[in-house]
Structure 1
Amino acid sequence: MRKGQASHLHHLPPSSPQEPFPLLPSQLETFVGNVNSDDVIPNKLSHSMRTRFLRFVPVDWNPSNWLGLRVEVYGCSYKSDVADFDGRSSLLYRFNQKSMSTVKDVITLRFKSRQAEGVLLHGEGQRGDYITLELHRGKLAFYLNLDDTRQRFSSSCVAVTVGSLLDDQHWHSVIIERFNKQVNLTVDSHTQHFQTQGEGDSLEVDYELSFGGIPLPGKPGTFLRKNFHGCMENLYYNGINIIDLAKRRKPQIYSVGKVTFSCSQPQLVACTFLSSSSSFLSLPVASAIMGGFSIRFQFRTWNPDGLLLSTQLSPEHQRLELLISNSRLLLTLHNFGQQLEASAGHRVNDGLWHSVSLDTRSLQITLTLDNEAASTIEQWEQLEARGSFYFGGCPPTGFQTPTLAFQGCIRLIAINSQPVNLNHIQQGLLGNYNELQFDTCNIRDRCLPNLCEHGGRCWQSWTSFSCDCSGTGYSGATCHKSIYESSCEAYKLIGSSSGFYSIDPDGSGPLGPALVYCNMTEERVWTVLTHNITAPVRVQGSSLQKPHIMMLNYSASAKQLRTIITGSEQCQQEVVYNCRKSRLFNTKDGRPLSWWVDQGGERRSYWGGFLPGVQQCSCSLEENCIDMNYFCNCDADIDTWANDTGVLSYKDHLPMSHIVIGDTNRTGSEAIYRIGPLRCYGDKSIWNAASFYQESSSLLFPTLRAELAFDISFYFKTTANSGVFLEIMGHKDFIRVELSSPSVVTFSFDVGNGPAVLSVKSHLPLNDRQWHYVRAERNVKEASLQVNQLPLRFLDAPADGHRHLRLSGQLFVGGTASQQRGFLGCIRTLTFNGVTFDLEERAKMVPGVSSGCPGYCSSSSSLCHNSGKCIEKSSGYTCDCSQSAFGGPTCKEVVSVSFDRESSMTFTFQEPFSVMQNRSSQASSARRESISRAREDVAFTFITSQSPALLLTVNTFSQQYVAVILTHNGSLQIWYHLQTHRTPDVFSPILSSLADGQIHRIRIHREGKDLYVQIDQDIHKKYTLSSDAELILIRSLTLGKVIRRDNFQEEVLLAGSKGFIGCLSSVQFNNVAPLKAALLNRGSSLVTIRGPLMQSNCGALADSITSKNLRGNTHPQPSQAKDGKESNDADSNNFMSRQLVTTFWQPAATFWEECWEHCPCNHAVFFYSMMKVCGFRYISYRPKRQVTKKH
C-alpha cells in the first residue's frame, strides 16, 4: 500500500457488508504517508485482511498544510473452504498408520461461533500424549502433553489461554506452531509463547485427529466434552487441507453427525446500552393469554451493578425490578412499602452471555438464570404489568431509582413468548430508546492484553479496568512501582536496622523481590544471600570418574543475583575447606581434582583467596603453605588435617553454583567443606552523580522503550532558578522533567492526546543546595509526580485515548536537544524503569560536566542517621532530624518517654482543612488530580509488663481509626477500621506475649490493601485488608490511655481504658514523630498531655526488668494474676514505677543517696521535684498518693 500527494497520516478501519464504514478506535490501523508529491511511502499490513469494503481516513495535515490522498492497494484472491458444525458433529482425520509421531506441527484455522464452549481440535495417544484446542468461557484453551501421563483434563493439567469474547459471531484466526517443546499460540494478533513441561519432544497421536468434538470410541454420537457449534474455515493440519478432503469425500476423513460445507449460522441481533445513566429501552406490554407476563432475554456485561429491567404493576403502588447487585441477579418486588427479594447466579458480570427468564404466572414470580434452579417470590394475587417494560434505565418522566442503569449488551428479547424485533425499534416502529447502539455488541475486553504488571490481576468494568496488586510486591494503578527498597543500603538510609528484608534490585523492572538479610551492625551495610547448604559437608569415596557434586540453590534467582552483584561495590563468598590426604590440583597432567562452577556455568579451578585463572590457594599468596613445593596446603597430600580456607571475591564469577570434589577415594582420604553465604556491600547507584556547569552541556544516553509504562527517579541539588533535568523526544511524543521555578518541579509528556502537565509546588525553595528527590511515573491509567515527601500528584489518562508512547530520540540528561534551559547543579541516582544510568562514567567524556558532586552531603558516608537529612553549610554540614523519630546532632539519639496508667499524649494534625480544600477544588475536574493515596508507615519501640494495653491509635474526622494494642495474653493486635459500615480488620502477627519486659520494635507499612508487619528482627508478616480506602482527614494520634470513643470496638476500648505502663521510644507515623514533638513543643496547641510523662531510657529499663526477673522477682506477670485484671494492673503499675526510679540516667545507689538527701518531706509532689533535682526531665505530673521515707 502506498500514499501520495500531500498525505501525511491515515487511518484504515476494517469494514463489512453489514456496516461498510464503522470507525472503532480500537480497530484502527495508522500509516504514515509522504510529505511531498514525489516520494512513495510503502506500508505493509501487519496482518492479512479479508474485506469487501475499505476506507482511508486522512487524519493529519502535512507540514505544508495540505491534505490530499493518492492510494494504490495490492491484494490477492482468497480461497475459502468452510465447514459448519451444529454442536453434535465432528470431522475425524484418520492416519495412514496406527500412530503419528511429530516433533514439528503447524495447525491453522479460522472460526466463528456464538457459543462460549466447544472443542475445536483433539488428538491423543495410548502412551498419554494429547493435544486439545477448545473454546472455554469465550477464550481459547490449549492443552498439550508430550510426556507419558494420564492427566487429560485433570485438575493438575494447566491450559494456556489466549483471546477473549470469541463467541461474538465474528471470524477469528488461530495459528499453532510447535517445534519440540517450544510452542507459539496465536489468536488474531495476540501471540503467547510457552514451553511444554517434561522431557518429551515428540507428539504421538494414535489413529486420528478429531475436529469439532471428542467422540467416545464405540459410542457413535456420544462426545466427551461439549462440541463446537459454529463455522471453521481453511483448516490446515501440517499442510493438509482437512475441509477440502472432507468436501471431496476422501477416505482419510470420517464425518460424525451432520457437517455441511457452507456457513449458515444465523446472525443474532444485539443492542448495546452505552450509558449507565441515560441508556434505556422501553417496550409495550404484550397481552398474555393466562394473565401475568413472562420475559426472556440474554445479556452480557462487565459491571457488577446495574438495573436490568423494571416495570410498574397492577394493582397499583407495586413495581418489579431486576438488577445486577454485587455481581448477582437480584429480583425485587416493591409491594406497598415492603420489599420481597429473590437472587440468582454468581459473577454474572463475567462478560459472557447469560439467559434470563422471568415469569409472574401461577401466583408466584419465578426467576431463572441460565440452567440453574429457579428462584421464586410468592404472591397473593395475580400481578400484571401496566405501561411499559423498561430495560436499562428509565426516561426522565419515569420513576427514578438510585441504582445505576445496565451498561452492556442485550439480545433475544421475548415478551409473553413473542420475540421482539430490534430492527423495528431502531426504525421507530416499536417502543422507545435512548443511548443505544443496534445491530452490534460493543463489549471490549480491557484486560486483554493484561496491562497489569508483575502478575497483577486485572478487573474491569464497561468503561475501564483496574489492577489488584495484592501479593505481587508492587503498587500503583498498574502494579508498576515496587513497594520494596532496591538494596540494604537504601533500607539503612530510611532508618532500618538489621534484619530480613525483601529488596527489589531492579525496582520496577521485570525481576521480582528477593529475601535477603541486611547486616547493619558494621560501618558497611552487608547484603547476605543464603543457600540450601549451610552445614559442613563431609566427602569420602569420590574420584574424577565419580566425583562428589553439590548444587547450591540461593534465596534469589540467577538474574536477581547478577543484578545485586553488579550493583554492589564488592562481593565475597567464603569457602571453608579441610582436607586429609585429598588433593586439589596436584596431578601429573595439570588437570584439577576439584573445582567449582560459577553462576554462569563456567568451571573455575582457582581456590578461595587467590586470583582467577591460576590453580592456587590463599596460602600461596601469604607464603605460608605447609609444603612450599605446592601452592595449596591440601596438595601436600599429608595424612593429617590441612586447611585451604579462603574468600572468593571476583564479582564476575560469584556466586558459586556447584562444587565438585574428586579425590577422596583413597584409604584415609576425606574432605569437609562449608560454603558461606554470598555477602555484598555498597550500592553503586545511590551516589552515582554528575555535576553540570554549563547550560549547553548534557549527557546523552540511547533512546528508551517506554510505550505503556515508565518511571523516572533521581535526586538533585542546585542554586539555579530553573533548568531541564531530562528530556527525550519522539516524532511528536516526548517526556520532560524540569525545575520550572525555584519551588516548582514540572513533569510533562505527550502520548498523542496532547501535552499533559503535572506540577508539584514546594512551600520551601528547592534551589537551596540540598538534595531533593523526584519521581515521575506514567502508565496507561494515570501519571504521577512526587517531590521529596510532599503529597503525590496524580493525573488520570483520558478514556480510550492513545496509550503507546513512541520515543525515537536520545535521552538528554541535564539539558535539551536545543541546548537551551540546561540544568546547573548535581543529579544523582538516575533510574528509568529500574535501570540505573552511570552518570559518573558518561560525565568523563563531556565538557561542562564532571563526575561526582562536591559537598559534605554528596557521598555514601552516613553523616545523618534514621532518615535524618544532611544539610550543606558553607563550612560543614548539619543534620535535619525533623522528619526522624530520633534526635541529637546526627539523628542517632533515641527519644524515649515513660508512661504510667494515667498517662497519654495526643498529637493533633494540622492538615485536615487544607486537604479538604484541595480535594473540593479538584472534584469537578474531568482529568482528576489527586494529592494522596492509601499509605501509612508506623514504627515504634516499646517495653512493658502490662496487658491489655493500648500502644497507639490514629483517628480521623470520618470515624476511621488504626489501633495497635496488646491483648489480655500480651499478644499484639493491629486494628484497621477503614469503612465505618463494616467490621474492622484485625490481625495478630504473633500469639506469644510481648508484655515480657523486653524491648520490641514494631514496623507497620501499608500500600493500598497490602499490610506489612515486622516485629523485632525475625518476624515478617503480610496481610490483605478488606478495603484500600485511605485515612480521610486524619485528626489525631494518641499514645497511652484513651478516653472513651464511640467508634471503638470493645476490645480496643478495654485496652484504651487500661492505658499503657512502660516505655515508648522512636515513635513515627508517616513524617510525624509525636514523642519528639511532645518534648520539643510542650506549650503547643497540637500536643495534649495527660498524667505523668517523663523522658526515659528504654534500654536501661529493659536491662533492669530483666535482672529483676532473673533474681526471682515475685511480682506476677499479667497472665499469672490471681485477683483479677485490676490487681494485675496495679502490680504492673507499682512494679514499673519502682523500675523507673532505678533506671533513669543515674545508678540506683547514687539516685537514692542524692535524692533522699535533698527530700524535705514525704509528699509525692516533692518526690517529683526531687526527680528534677536528680537530673530527670518531666512534662507533667499528677499527685497520686503519699509516700514515706521508708518506702
Structure 2
Amino acid sequence: MPLGSRLTFVFLFLCSISNIDLASTASRKCEDSLATPLPYSSFTGSSVYATGYGAGYAKLNRRGGSGGWSPVDADRYQWLQVDLGSRKKVVAVATQGRYSSADWTRRYRLLYSDTGKNWRPFLQDGNIWTFEGNSDSEGVTRHELLRSIVARYVRFVPLQWSKEGRMGLRVEVYGCSYWSDVVSFDGQGVISYRFSSKTKKIKFLTDLISLKFRTSAGHGVLLHGEGQQGDYISLELQRARLVLSINLGKGGHTAVTSGSLLDDDHWHSVLIQRYRRNVNFTLDQHTQPFRTNGEFDHLDLDYEISFGGLPASNKPSSGGRDNFVGCMEGIVYNGDNITSLIRRKKVDTSSFRNLTFSCSESRSFPVFFNSSSFLQLPGQGDSDTLSVSLSFRTWNPSGLLVYTALADGVVEVGLADGKVTVYINVTQRKNTRSNLNDGQWHTVHLNALENYAMLTIDGDEASTVRTAIPIQITTGGTYYFGGYFLRTNTPPLQRSFQGCMQMIHVDDQLADLRAVEQGLIGMFQNVSLDMCAIIDRCVPNQCEHGGRCSQTWDSFSCICNGTGYRGATCHTSVYQQSCEEVLHLGRAPGGHWVDPDGSGPLQALRVSCDLTGRGTGTHAHTHTHTTAVYAVTSGADYCEQHIAYTCRMSRLLNSPDGEPYTWWVGRANEKHLYWGGSGPGIQKCACGIERNCTSAKHQCNCDADQRQWREDAGLLVYKDHLPVSQLVVGDTGRAGSEAKLTVGPLRCRDFWNAASFISPASYLHFPSLKGETSADISFYFKTSSTYGVFLENLGTTDFIRIELKATSVISFSFDVGNGGVELTVRSPSRLDDGRWHRVEAERNLKEAVLSLDGRYRDARAAPAQGHIRLELFSQLYIEAGPPASGAAPRGPQGTALLGETNLTREELVFSFSTSNAPAILVYVSSKTQDYLAVVLRNNGTLQVRYSLGGLTEPYTIDLDHRNMANGQPHHVNVSREQRSIHLQVGRWHCNSTQHNATQHNATPHNSTQHNATPHNTTPHNATQHNKTPHNSTQQHTTAHNSTQHNATPHNTTPHNTTPHNTTPHNTTQHRTTPHNTTQHNTTPHNTTQHHATQHNTTQHHTTQHHTTPHNTTQHNTTQRNTTKHNTTQHNTTQHNTTQHNTTPHNSTQRNATHHHTAERR
C-alpha cells in the first residue's frame, strides 16, 4: 500500500439487527472420564476385525489388545457402543485412532439412548451433526457438546475413515452422574398435588414450573390447575406439539404453542417462568417470551394442581381431554419437588392402578430413510390376497412407500402432492385425503383380493377408498419399502422416500426388523434402523415478521406475501426508514410508507413526506400505531405538533385552585400543563411567553373568559413528549361557553445522520453486533478514496466485514465457522465520485446477499450443513482504515513497492494477523539507505525500526508487553513528521502502555527555546517522583543528536511556594532511567485541580530557534512532589509555572497510543 494514503469519506449508516437466543454450553465442572473406568464388557461393536481388535480395547490412550477397535467391514453400518451403566450427563467426547497403526476415523456421528434402542442422533444448528475425527493414530480430538445430553448408551458411527488403512477407534466420554425420580403414567392415573389442607384457594403472583417428559403419544395433558374465578393454567400435548394455556382473569385467555414431533419417545425438558403477566416458556432450550392477555396479575387456583391429566374434581369447562401416557421426571412446582413427594407418598396417587418409578422400553422400531434408501422384506408368494400396512411420517409431498410385483402387474403405494396414491398395474390410480406430509404419524393399510382393493388411512373406515382392479391378484412374495432399484418397463411413482416408517406389517404379520438388522431376513440399503431422525425445520420458525414457513426434508422456505418484508427469511423491510430516504430515491413528495426501525419488530406506518425550507419533513398521522410513531420521534432531530384552542367564555389553563382546566397527555402517558408556543414546566400559552395576551392578568387569551372569540395556539416542540395522545377539556357546561380544539399532525425532520471520516485512523465503535442467525446492515456513503473498510466486527474465528476493495468494487465477507465467504458487487462506474451510494448486506440461515444502489446484487446460498451462528465479541467498528485481516508477508513472500520521493512525513496504517514469528511485516527503503521496518521478533513482540539521515544507528521502538503472533488481528498506525514519530497499536485489547509525560525542564528565564531532540546523554542522577497521572496531549519527540541546553539565567521576583497535597491517583512510582530528554510543548492537562500558591515571575521574551548538535553534560534532577499546575504551553512569553521534573508512567487505555522518547540501541 502506498505510504501516506488516506481514506476520506462521509458515511451514513442505518443498521438493523435481529438476534436470536445464545446457545448454552456444558458446565465445565462436569468433566469426569466416564468410559475409561468401565469394564471390557461395557463396550460393544457392530463387528470385530480379529481377536485383539475388540470394542473393549477402545479406551482413549490405552494400548491393550491390538490398540483399539476395528470392525470387519468398511461401510457406514459399523458402530462402537459404550454402556455407561446408568444414565449420565455427557458434556464432551474424544476420539483417537488405533494405536500405532494406519487405522483411524476421520468423521463420525454420535447417537445416544436410555435403553439401547430407539436411538437419537446428536443435533446441532438444526442438523444431524457430523463430528471431525482424527488424521492419525495418536492424536486426540475432543469436542465439547454445544448442549449436554443425558443417556446411558452412547454410540459412535464412523462416516469416513483412514484411506491408508481401516476404521480404528479409541474413545472417551466426559460428563458426570445424573439422577432423577421418574414416574410412569399409564393414561389412567393422575397425580393431585394439594397446596394446603387449610386453604381452599391460593393466589400466585409468580410461578416456576419445570419437568421432563417422554412419550410416543401425540395428545395428553401434562398439568392442569383451575380456580373458581375462571383462572387456569394448562400444559398439554396436541398433535405432538406442546400448548401452554394461561388465564389470569376475565378476557385473559392466552395460548402459546411450542415444539414439534414431541411423540418421538425421547426426553424433552420444559420450564415455565411467570411473573405477573410476563411469561417465559422454554422447551428444549428454546425460549418463547410472551405476555398474557387481560389486566390481572394473579393466578387464582383452587386447592390443587394435577399432573398427567385432569383431576377428578375438574370443572365442566375443562372438557374431555386425553390423559398423558408416558414418563415424567424432575417435576418441580414453585420449589416443591413433586416426584420426590410422590415417592414419599406425600401426594394423592389413588387413581393409579400400578404406580411405577421407571420408564418402560420403547416398543417401536422405526426405520429412517434418506433419498437413496430401500428396505426389502419377504412375504407370502402365490397368494390371492395382498395385505400390507405401515405408519409413516415425512415432510416431503412425494415418495414411494411400498412396491411389490405381482404375477401379472405391479402394485405401488406412495405419496403424490401430499396424498396417498395407489397404482395397480399402472392404469388404476386412487387418491386419499391430502396434507399427509405434515410430519405426523399416519397409518396406511392396503388390502387387495379377487377383483377389488381397499385403502384405509389412519384407521378411518368411513373414508376407505375402494376400487375395482382389472387383474387377478397373485403375490410375488417380495416387498420393497421406501424405494427400489429394479429395472422395470413401467417407472414407479417415485423411487425415493425421505422420512420414517414403523409398525410395518406384511400379510398381517408384524415384520421383525431386529432380525433384518442382524442380517437374518430381508435386506436394506442406506437406511438407519431403530432410529427416526426427522427434523422439523420450521420449529422454531425462522421466518420473521409473520412470514409463513414451509419445508421439505432438508430445507425450509418462507412465504413473505403481505408482511411488508422480503428476503429468504422475510427479514428486510420493503420500505425505507425515513422520508429522507424516500425522497433521496427520487420519489415525489406525498403519502408514503416508511419503516422506522427497518428489520426490527415495528411495523411500517403511513406518513406524508414533503420538502420544507428546513429540509425533508415527515408527517405522522395521529391514528397510526403509537409504538411506530415513537420510533419516528426517537429517530428525528426535530419534531413539532400544532395545537389550538378557540374559545368563547371557556378558560384554558387558569382556574381558581391553580389546576388547569385543560391539559394534554403525551408519549409517556404523562399529564402536561403547558400549551403550544410554551415549554415544559411553564404553565403558559404562547401569548404569556410573548407578553401580549388579551388580559395582562392572565397567561392565555382564553383565560380572560370573554364573550368574544379568542384563540391560544402554537407548536409543541419538545419531542420527548410527542405525540399528543389525549386531551382533557374542563371548563364546560356554563351558559354561553363554547370552545373548539384542534390538534395538527406530528411533523418531524432531520433523520439523515451522517459522520465524516477524515483520517485512516478515524473510527466509531459500538457494542458487538448481535445477529447470530440473522443480521442486516445498510448505509449510504460517499468518498473520494479508492479503498477502505466501512464496517468490521470480530470474534475468536468468526468475523463480519464490509469494505470498498477498489474504485468500483464493494465486498461483504464473513465467517461463521465454515470458512470465509466473500460476496462482491462491481459497479459499472467509479464509486469515489463524491456521490451518495447505498450498500445493503444481509446474512441469514438461508443465504447471504449484498446489493449496491438497489441495482447490483450478489447472493450466496448457505451450506446445507454446518455452523450457523455468527459469534462476535469485539466492538463493532465503523471505520476508515484498511481491513484487519490477512497474514503478514514473510521473507520473499512479501510485496515490494517501488517509488522515488523524498518524504519528510508519512503515515503507515495496516492490519495483520499471523501465527509466525519472526516476520517482516512492512519494509520501506530508499537509495540513501534510509528505511522504515515493522517486524515481529522471535518472541512475537512488535518492533519498529527507523533509519533516517544523520543517525549513526537505527532508532527502534520495542513493544514488549505481549505476543502479537497469536493469530488475532492487530492494527498498527505509524506516523512521522520530520523527526517526530507517533505510534498507535491495537484496537481491541487494553494491555498497551501509554506514556503521558516525559521530563520537562521548564524554568522561567530569558532563554532561547529549543526543539529538543533525542540524543546520547550522560545518565541522569534522578530521584523518585510522585507524579499525578493526567491526560496529556500527544507529545512529539524529534530524533537527532543534540546536547544539553544551558538556559540563560535571569532575574525573577522571589516567590514562595506552599506545599500542595496532590489528589491520590492509582499510579506506580517510577525511577527515571537514562534516556534522551526533550523539552515538550505541553498543553494544559486535564487533571484533578489543586490549589497552588501564585508565583509572580518576571515577564521575559523568548526567541525560538533550532539548536545545533553539541556535547551534553550530566543532568541532576532534584526530588519534588509535583502538584497540579495550571500550566500554560511552554512556548510562551510568560510562564506561570515552576520548574518540575516528571517521569513517564503507565496507564492502561483502549487504543493505547505509545509516545517514545528516541533512544539509541
- With normalisation by structure 2, the TM-score equals 0.60
Corresponding residue number in structure 2 for 1:378 = 468
1:905-924 residue pairs with structure 2 within 5 A? Answer: none
Corresponding residue number in structure 2 for 1:555 = 624
Using the TM superposition, give the Cα deviation of residue 240 of structure 1 relative to its aligned residue in structure 2, in angstroms.
4.2
**Distance in structure 2 (CA, Å) of the matches to 1:588 and 1:79:** 72
**Distance in structure 1 (CA, Å) of the matches to 2:783 and 2:313:** 80
Q: Rate the CA distance shift 1:653–1:125 in 2: closer, same or farther, 3 A.
A: closer
Aligned length: 762
**Distance in structure 1 (CA, Å) of the matches to 2:864 and 2:719:** 48
Using the TM superposition, give the Cα deviation of residue 345 of structure 1 relative to its aligned residue in structure 2, in angstroms.
2.8
Higher fraction of helix: 1
Please point out which of 598, 601, 611 is paired with 2:666.
598
Corresponding residue number in structure 1 for 2:485 = 395
Matched, 1:300 2:393: yes
**Distance in structure 2 (CA, Å) of the matches to 1:633 and 1:650:** 22
Corresponding residue number in structure 2 for 1:436 = 527
Amino acid at match of 2:579: C
Tell me if the contact between 1:11 and 1:57 (Cα under 8 Å) persists in the aligned partners. no
Corresponding residue number in structure 2 for 1:311 = 404
Amino acid at match of 2:465: S
Q: 1:946-970: per-residue Cα shift (whole Å, max 9, x none)?
A: xxxxxxxxxxxxxxxxxxxxxxxxx
Tell me if the contact between 2:591 and 2:608 (Cα under 8 Å) persists in the aligned partners. yes
Structure 1 residue ranges without an equivalent (≥5): 32-41, 59-68, 152-156, 532-553, 822-846, 850-1191
Using the TM superposition, give the Cα deviation of residue 594 of structure 1 relative to its aligned residue in structure 2, in angstroms.
2.7
Secondary structure at 1:126's aligned position in 2? coil
Corresponding residue number in structure 2 for 1:224 = 320
1:87-126 residue pairs with structure 2 within 5 A? Answer: 87-93=187-193, 96=197, 99-103=200-204, 104-126=206-228
Matched, 1:189 2:282: no
Tell me if the contact between 1:90 and 1:257 (Cα under 8 Å) persists in the aligned partners. no
Corresponding residue number in structure 1 for 2:276 = 180
Corresponding residue number in structure 2 for 1:500 = 591
Corresponding residue number in structure 2 for 1:285 = 379
Tell me if the contact between 2:794 and 2:873 (Cα under 8 Å) persists in the aligned partners. yes
Secondary structure at 1:492's aligned position in 2? helix
1:106-185 residue pairs with structure 2 within 5 A? Answer: 106-148=208-250, 158-185=254-281
Tell me if the contact between 1:726 and 1:816 (Cα under 8 Å) persists in the aligned partners. no
Q: Rate the CA distance shift 1:676–1:422 in 2: closer, same or farther, 3 A.
A: same
Using the TM superposition, give the Cα deviation of residue 362 of structure 1 relative to its aligned residue in structure 2, in angstroms.
4.6
Q: Rate the CA distance shift 1:733–1:616 in 2: closer, same or farther, 3 A.
A: same
Secondary structure at 2:687's aligned position in 1? helix
Tell me if the contact between 1:700 and 1:810 (Cα under 8 Å) persists in the aligned partners. yes
Please point out which of 732, 750, 759 is paired with 1:664.
732
Using the TM superposition, give the Cα deviation of residue 782 of structure 1 relative to its aligned residue in structure 2, in angstroms.
0.3
Corresponding residue number in structure 2 for 1:976 = none
Matched, 1:16 2:82: no
Using the TM superposition, give the Cα deviation of residue 661 of structure 1 relative to its aligned residue in structure 2, in angstroms.
2.7
**Distance in structure 2 (CA, Å) of the matches to 1:55 and 1:420:** 25
**Distance in structure 2 (CA, Å) of the matches to 1:819 and 1:353:** 52
Using the TM superposition, give the Cα deviation of residue 499 of structure 1 relative to its aligned residue in structure 2, in angstroms.
4.2
Tell me if the contact between 1:727 and 1:815 (Cα under 8 Å) persists in the aligned partners. no
Corresponding residue number in structure 2 for 1:683 = 751
Amino acid at match of 1:462: W
**Distance in structure 1 (CA, Å) of the matches to 2:428 and 2:171:** 66
Tell me if the contact between 1:394 and 1:400 (Cα under 8 Å) persists in the aligned partners. no
Secondary structure at 2:598's aligned position in 1? coil
Structure 2 residue ranges without an equivalent (≥5): 1-27, 34-60, 62-90, 95-109, 132-141, 159-169, 887-906, 910-1161
Corresponding residue number in structure 1 for 2:805 = 740
Tell me if the contact between 2:419 and 2:434 (Cα under 8 Å) persists in the aligned partners. yes
Corresponding residue number in structure 1 for 2:545 = 454
Using the TM superposition, give the Cα deviation of residue 804 of structure 1 relative to its aligned residue in structure 2, in angstroms.
0.7
Corresponding residue number in structure 1 for 2:433 = 345
Secondary structure at 1:293's aligned position in 2? strand
Q: Rate the CA distance shift 1:189–1:219 in 2: closer, same or farther, 3 A.
A: closer
**Distance in structure 2 (CA, Å) of the matches to 1:4 and 1:122:** 39
User: Which stretch shifts more, 705-714 or 396-405?
Assistant: 396-405
Tell me if the contact between 1:710 and 1:778 (Cα under 8 Å) persists in the aligned partners. yes
Percent identity over the alignment is 43
Q: Rate the CA distance shift 1:265–1:146 in 2: closer, same or farther, 3 A.
A: farther
Q: 1:193-229: per-residue Cα shift (whole Å, max 9, x none)?
A: 2222223333333464333233676999x98112222
User: Which stretch shifts more, 191-200 or 450-459?
Assistant: 191-200
Q: 1:312-340: per-residue Cα shift (whole Å, max 9, x none)?
A: 2222xx222222111221222234xxx22
Q: Looking at both structures, which has the greater relative contact order when contacts are Cα pairs under 8 Å and sequence separation is at least 6?
A: 2
Tell me if the contact between 2:92 and 2:143 (Cα under 8 Å) persists in the aligned partners. no
Q: Rate the CA distance shift 1:519–1:160 in 2: closer, same or farther, 3 A.
A: same
Using the TM superposition, give the Cα deviation of residue 487 of structure 1 relative to its aligned residue in structure 2, in angstroms.
2.1
Q: Rate the CA distance shift 1:440–1:788 in 2: closer, same or farther, 3 A.
A: same
Secondary structure at 1:471's aligned position in 2? coil
Tell me if the contact between 2:843 and 2:849 (Cα under 8 Å) persists in the aligned partners. yes
Corresponding residue number in structure 1 for 2:831 = 766
Q: Rate the CA distance shift 1:653–1:243 in 2: closer, same or farther, 3 A.
A: closer
- With normalisation by structure 1, the TM-score equals 0.59
**Distance in structure 2 (CA, Å) of the matches to 1:789 and 1:250:** 68
User: Which stretch shifts more, 378-387 or 209-218?
Assistant: 209-218
Corresponding residue number in structure 2 for 1:355 = 443
Matched, 1:778 2:843: yes
Using the TM superposition, give the Cα deviation of residue 72 of structure 1 relative to its aligned residue in structure 2, in angstroms.
11
Tell me if the contact between 1:292 and 1:382 (Cα under 8 Å) persists in the aligned partners. no
Tell me if the contact between 1:355 and 1:369 (Cα under 8 Å) persists in the aligned partners. yes
User: Which stretch shifts more, 417-426 or 244-253?
Assistant: 244-253
User: Which stretch shifts more, 396-405 or 767-776?
Assistant: 396-405
- Greater Rg by CA: 2
Amino acid at match of 1:166: L
Q: Rate the CA distance shift 1:472–1:589 in 2: closer, same or farther, 3 A.
A: same
Q: Rate the CA distance shift 1:620–1:29 in 2: closer, same or farther, 3 A.
A: farther
1:595-674 residue pairs with structure 2 within 5 A? Answer: 595-664=663-732, 666-674=734-742
Secondary structure at 2:720's aligned position in 1? helix
Amino acid at match of 2:283: V
Corresponding residue number in structure 1 for 2:648 = 580
Amino acid at match of 2:202: S
Q: 1:359-391: per-residue Cα shift (whole Å, max 9, x none)?
A: 112521111110332112212443233263221
**Distance in structure 2 (CA, Å) of the matches to 1:108 and 1:29:** 28
Secondary structure at 1:279's aligned position in 2? strand
**Distance in structure 2 (CA, Å) of the matches to 1:776 and 1:113:** 44
Q: Rate the CA distance shift 1:721–1:493 in 2: closer, same or farther, 3 A.
A: closer
Amino acid at match of 2:625: A
User: Which stretch shifts more, 250-259 or 436-445?
Assistant: 250-259
Q: Rate the CA distance shift 1:148–1:293 in 2: closer, same or farther, 3 A.
A: same
Q: 1:130-180: per-residue Cα shift (whole Å, max 9, x none)?
A: 22211111111111212257x9xxxxx652112221111011122233333
1:1082-1101 residue pairs with structure 2 within 5 A? Answer: none
Q: Rate the CA distance shift 1:487–1:717 in 2: closer, same or farther, 3 A.
A: closer
Corresponding residue number in structure 1 for 2:453 = 365
Tell me if the contact between 1:743 and 1:764 (Cα under 8 Å) persists in the aligned partners. yes
**Distance in structure 2 (CA, Å) of the matches to 1:162 and 1:817:** 46
Q: Rate the CA distance shift 1:522–1:497 in 2: closer, same or farther, 3 A.
A: farther
Secondary structure at 2:467's aligned position in 1? strand
Using the TM superposition, give the Cα deviation of residue 243 of structure 1 relative to its aligned residue in structure 2, in angstroms.
4.6
Q: Rate the CA distance shift 1:703–1:164 in 2: closer, same or farther, 3 A.
A: same
Secondary structure at 1:254's aligned position in 2? coil
Tell me if the contact between 1:572 and 1:651 (Cα under 8 Å) persists in the aligned partners. yes
1:984-995 residue pairs with structure 2 within 5 A? Answer: none
Secondary structure at 1:620's aligned position in 2? helix
Amino acid at match of 1:486: Q
**Distance in structure 2 (CA, Å) of the matches to 1:249 and 1:812:** 61
Aligned alpha-carbon RMSD (Å): 3.9
